[in-house]
Chains A and B, each alone.
Chain A
Amino acid sequence: MSSLIDRELAVVNVGLDAFADAVAAAGAPVVRVQWSPPADGDPEAVAALARLVADPAVEAANRTAFAAYLEAEPVLEGIALAREAIPGMTERTILHSGPPVAWKDMAGPMQGAVIGAALLEGWAADEAGARALAGRGEIRFAPCHHHDAVGPMAGIVCPSMPVWVVRNARHGNRAYSTLNEGLGKVLRYGANSPEVLDRLRWMADKLAPALAAGLARTGPIELKPLIGRALHMGDEMHNRNVAATGLLLKRLVAGVLRSAIPAHEAAAALEFVVGNDFFFLNPGMAACKCMLDAARGVPGSSMVTTMARNGVEFGIRVSGTGDAWFTAPAPVVDGLFFSGFTRADAARDIGDSAITETAGLGGFAMAAAPAIVQFVGGTPELALANTLEMRHVTVGRNPAFTIPQLGFAGTPAGIDVRKVVDTGIRPVINTGIAHRAPGVGQVGAGLTRAPAACFAKALVALARAA
């Protein structure tokens, strides 16, 4: 009790502003909380919050989960076929982005990509056949996240696709992602024309073996230092992967050239990588997944381990609530549209790529990438402000990912559902915008925020489990 009257009173004002004025008039320090009802006033979430804020058990669990995330050492180990590498990948399985979704409910781009995958695998001869196959329930659909994988946009992975294999050298878990196809008419945006399928076949037949051979000669590549360097070179690893792609290429090029791959095929493979500024997005996402999976399953922890969207729903998973998804309708992204397209063309937010933000990159590392603001519609000040704002909803900072502009401070990482609900500050996500119709491709890019309802639901579940 002495801590109240034995020293100068310093007030945190939560509510009527006039009371803070009176305190300030008396010369005492006062901080004004800009308060609004947490979780839109949902009584269950409000009660859960009161129970879990500053709870020592949650704090301890978060330290454990966050430490595991920090300790993880993702290493690019190789390239393998999905059917051989990904656990539980049966012959008629297609993995997709985001939380679980049934065929009939899938967004346009995802259905387009599924059709493309069915044609690629030879399960159907044409689009009608593919639709009928899916409609009859003869394809097993599952989220990438249920199979240690992540995929951008539609996130489609089918058995014959080559995938990056990223291993956590510290904890041993692995994560997988497909090879990036580039921009324009590509499967992840729902395109399934012959040129799209031909490119996918070439990637499996030529690109993957060339890169795998190069990687075999180079040896496993530690991805955390590579990402750290890319941040210093102006990437944020979600919408800007120019530097990281260059760094990866630099590591691979001699290996590919010295491998047994014929020179013209090696050149074609390297040309493909050179021509695709997003090439590192996929292995980067797998690295994020690999680090965050190390933090999964810590009882009581309120740290978010997954944020992902399937074009219909936005879902999160939390360390302390196991494999449960907490979902809300996926937002339509606010952003800049390529000429000829408008907001009316936009699909709802889609893709597993928000794994970058979950791992303290992407929108959370936006201060490192002032150039990105031209792409997503903003100012360098906004980039800085977004990173600083995310400090208020995260468990800590990642010293492996530093931002020169902020005095080499680590990026804010480890989203804490309690803080999101308590402050109403929603995680920021830098993302691409897909056309709502399958096969058109990317129509813009922008910023969005994770829906608040996911976090309120997760918090309530966490309080119940506590």
Chain B
Amino acid sequence: MASATRIIRGAYRDSIALMRLSAAIAELPGVEQASLVMATPANLDLLREAGLLEGAVDARPSDVLIAVRGKGDKALAAAFDAAERGLAESAAAATGGGAPGAIAPRSAEMALAAAPRSNLALVSVPGEYAAAEATKALRLGLHVMLFSDNVPLADEIALKALARERGLLVMGPDCGTAIVNGVPLGFANVVRRGAIGCIGASGTGLQQVTCLIDRAGQGVSHAIGTGGRDLAAEVGGATTLAALAMLGADPATRVIVLVSKPPAPGVARTVLAAARVAGKPVVACFVGAEARAAPERNVHHAPTLADAARVAAALAAGRKPATSARWRAPARLPRTAAGQRYVRALYSGGTFAYEASHLLGALLGEVRSNAPVRKELALADPWASVGHTVVDLGADEFTRGRAHPMIDHRLRNERLVREAADPEVAVLLFDVVLGHGSHADPALAIAPALRAARAAAAKRRQPLALVGFVCGTAGDPQGLERQTCALAEAGVILGASNAEAVRIAAAIARGAAAGVAASTRGARKRPPRKASAARRAATRKGGKR
């Protein structure tokens, strides 16, 4: 096995383009592994860890480094040629033809000169450059959606202060999704337009709420992402408050939904005070926090994302929302064998993982996670599950040098099969997220892993329950119907929402624990437990989506 590297100077490409090209090169005959990266110090370290690179290289962050391992020089040479051809093709596509001297804009300022009516910059450059690009955009008078993560907290505070000074909105950093005037930004679903305005510090939380609103026959006016830290004490809810004011004044918005993990207590007070005077009903869903049954003035508290969508849809339709939703387990739950006890949940959406940790904890007791609701429930090793486990595969430890699990299913697929090898596992629980930015056909991508997981359990004559849900709409590029059908065919029991999928999983696990092979009893929702101050403090630090 031989390996070699090549440097292409000054050939910046975005990470998705490079990952696509890497995957294509890795498929070539005789190539075992191929990686195209921008030669940043962090990326070079990753290549060294992967054994694809040895020693120092003379490369700058604006150079592309091609690292290939394969059988013999011929295969390597072919891989390099293909990589360079691929890079050249993407360059040709980017520059295009057109009139002489008509060049693609190289900066936001140039773009604005070419299109003076632009009003928003969608920034998704690597984290170390993100704050600078966002600052420039704000100075140029553009609102900003900052998709990039790894932006220092101090930069976030400075950006939001600058935005406030200029009367502009900064969504993010680490803002995964938004919908403005029907236009999807980042990882967003195609939802009907309507009267419900959404504000979310969590990307998948916003995606879940907007999708469920769509499915309930209502629509979304705007969905504003704020970034996961917006409701931390240091940031003080700057974007959330600005968005509340904006949607409060927006005639197209009749109901507002607010979604986040539990905010810092002081920030929660400020935000709820603003919500009370928003002039329209506000549904607040602080995922994992204490839920209040009774609405306070015009603020309705929803314990789960699904509840938030249900309540908002009812309000938008002019109906009084039901105070609590009764949930009944399906009449027939799958069998489990003796010794099968545990739920293993593998999520691509951070907020889904967090909500699942919280709900499963209430239903099953101790649940471990790499993004736990309480510190003491942290997994010692995020790569190894213990008892009931919820894993957020979108967390940093899993995404370093890899595409997000909503795009690349390989890591989760491997983990699904690994979990299935554990004879104590009764249920595999997972999310499937559709919409722009996500994998083009996630059901197809995950199917082989589900078959392999089932086969592994069958080998020792155990059944294995597969439970999931699809976060998506009929309008999404992947097609909700097509995805749900394919998953059902693969034997997945589908909940309508994360909360429902969690309850199904818990019901199966509890049935297994009670020694009931086929349960017909409904697993009723437990009354929410009172959250202690300590617990709230712990959850606040739960990290990004």
- A residues bordering B, Cβ < 8 Å? 1-5, 7-23, 25-29, 31-38, 40-41, 43, 46-47, 49-51, 53-55, 381, 384-389, 392, 419, 422-425
Known: A4-B143, A43-B128. A12 touches B10 (CB 8 A): no
A-B contact pairs, 11 of them (CB 8 A): A11-B122, A12-B115, A13-B124, A33-B107, A35-B107, A38-B132, A49-B132, A50-B133, A54-B109, A54-B139, A389-B101
Residues in A with CB closer than 8 Å to B109 are 53-54, 419, 422-423
Greatest chain B CB density within 10 A among A21, A50, A54 is at A50
CA distance A2 to B246 in the complex (A): 7
Q: How far is the CA of A31 from the CA of B101 in the complex (A)?
A: 17
Give the complex CA separation of A384 and B101 in angstroms: 7
Question: Does the CB pair A10–B115 fall under 8 Å?
Answer: yes
Q: Which residue of A lies closest to B90 (CB)?
A: A17
Distance in angstroms between the alpha carbons of A68 and B111 in the assembled complex: 29
Find chain B residues with CB under 8 A from A25 CB: 436
The residue in A22, A422, A424 that gathers the most chain B C-beta atoms within 10 A of its C-beta is A22
B242 touches A33 (CB 8 A): no
Query: Among the listed B95, B113, B180, which residue makes an inter-chain contact with A34, where contact means beta carbons less than 8 Å apart?
Result: B95
Interface pair B14/A12, CB less than 8 Å apart: no
- B26: CB under 8 A from chain A? no
Q: Is the CB of A385 within 8 A of B101?
A: yes
Closest 6 CB pairs of A and B: A388-B101, A15-B124, A36-B12, A41-B61, A22-B436, A50-B132
In this complex, the member of A23, A43, A424 whose beta carbon has the largest number of chain B beta carbons within 10 angstroms is A23
Does the CB pair B15–A16 fall under 8 Å?
A: yes
Q: Which among B16, B122, B222 is the interface contact of A14 at CB below 8 angstroms? A: B122
| A10 partner, pick from B95, B120, B182, beta carbons under 8 A | B120
Q: How far is the CA of A21 from the CA of B133 in the complex (A)?
A: 20
- Asked if residues B122 and A19 are in contact (CB atoms below 8 Å), the reply is yes
**Nearest neighbor of B38 in chain A, beta-carbon distance:** A37
Query: A16 and B147: CB pair below 8 A?
Result: yes
Contacts of A3 in B (CB 8 A): 119, 143, 167-168
Q: How many Å lie between the Cα of A177 and that of B139 in the bound state?
A: 42
Name the prevailing secondary structure of the A interface residues: helix
Partner of A53, one of B124, B136, B250: B136
- B184 interface hit (Cβ, 8 Å): yes
Q: Is B100 an interface residue (CB 8 A)?
A: yes
In the assembled complex, the CB of A277 is this many whole angstroms from the nearest CB of chain B, namely 27
Which residues in A have their C-beta under 8 angstroms from that of B279?
none
* Inter-subunit contact B105/A31 (CB<8 Å): yes
List the A side residues contacting B125 at CB < 8 Å.
14-15, 35, 37
Asked if B114 contacts A31 (CB within 8 A), the reply is yes
Inter-chain pairs besides A50-B133, A54-B141, 14 sampled, C-beta below 8 Å: A2-B249, A5-B180, A14-B111, A15-B14, A16-B14, A16-B147, A22-B184, A23-B122, A31-B118, A35-B14, A36-B12, A53-B140, A392-B103, A392-B106
**Does B284 have its Cβ within 8 Å of any Cβ on chain A?**
no
Task: Kindly identify which residue among A11, A16, A387 contacts B183, using a CB–CB cutoff of 8 Å.
Answer: A11
Asked whether, in the complex, the Cβ of A5 is within 8 Å of the Cβ of B250, the reply is yes
Given contacts A34-B95, A36-B62, whether A14 and B133 have CB atoms under 8 Å apart is yes
Q: Which of B116-142 contact A (CB under 8 A)?
A: 117-126, 128-129, 131-133, 135-137, 139-142
Chain B residues lying within 8 Å of A31, measured Cβ to Cβ, are 105, 111, 114-115, 118
- By the criterion CB–CB under 8 Å, are B120 and A9 in contact? yes
With a cutoff of 8 Å between Cβ atoms, the chain A residues found around residue B77 in the complex are: none
Residues of B within 8 A of A23 (CB): 122, 183-185
Q: Which residues of A contact B17 (CB under 8 A)?
A: 17
B60 at the interface (CB under 8 A from A): yes
Count B interface residues, CB 8 Å: 75
> Chain B nearest CB: distance from A79 CB in Å?
40
Given contacts A8-B181, A19-B122, contact A46 B129 (CB under 8 A): yes
Provide the residues of chain A in CB contact with B183, threshold 8 Å. 9, 11, 23, 26-28
Find chain B residues with CB under 8 A from A1 CB. Answer: 167-169, 242, 245-246
The 8 Å CB contact of A49, one of B105, B106, B136, B184, is B136
- Return B193 CB to nearest CB of chain A, in Å: 11
Question: Taking the complex as formed, is B534 at the interface, i.e. its CB lies under 8 A from any CB of chain A?
Answer: no
Is B104 an interface position by the 8 A CB rule? yes
- Identify the closest chain B residue to A379 (Cβ): B100
Cα distance, A354 to B541, chains bound together (Å): 57
Residue of A nearest to B142 (CB): A12
Chain A residues in 8 Å Cβ range of B394: none
Partner of B180, one of A9, A14, A29, A53: A9
Query: Within the assembled complex, what's the spacing in Å between the Cα atoms of A114 and B142?
Result: 55
Q: Say yes or no: A17 contacts B16, CB within 8 Å.
A: yes
- Report which of A12, A381, A424 forms a contact with B100, defined as CB distance below 8 A: A381
Tell me the bound Cα distance from A32 to B108 in angstroms.
9
Residue in A19, A21, A29, A47 whose CB lies within 8 Å of B124? A19
Q: Which residue of A lies closest to B115 (CB)?
A: A31
| Distance in Å: Cβ of A157 to nearest Cβ of chain B | 38
The chain B residue with its CB closest to the CB of A383 is B100
Q: With A12-B120, A19-B147, A31-B118 known to touch, is A41 a contact of B139 (CB < 8 Å)? A: no
B40 to A41, Cβ gap below 8 A? yes
A36 to B182, CA, bound (A): 29
Contacting pair A35 B115 (CB below 8 A): no
Residues of chain B from 306 to 327 with CB closer than 8 A to chain A in the complex: none
Chain A residues whose C-beta falls within 8 Å of the C-beta of B169 in the assembled complex:
1, 4
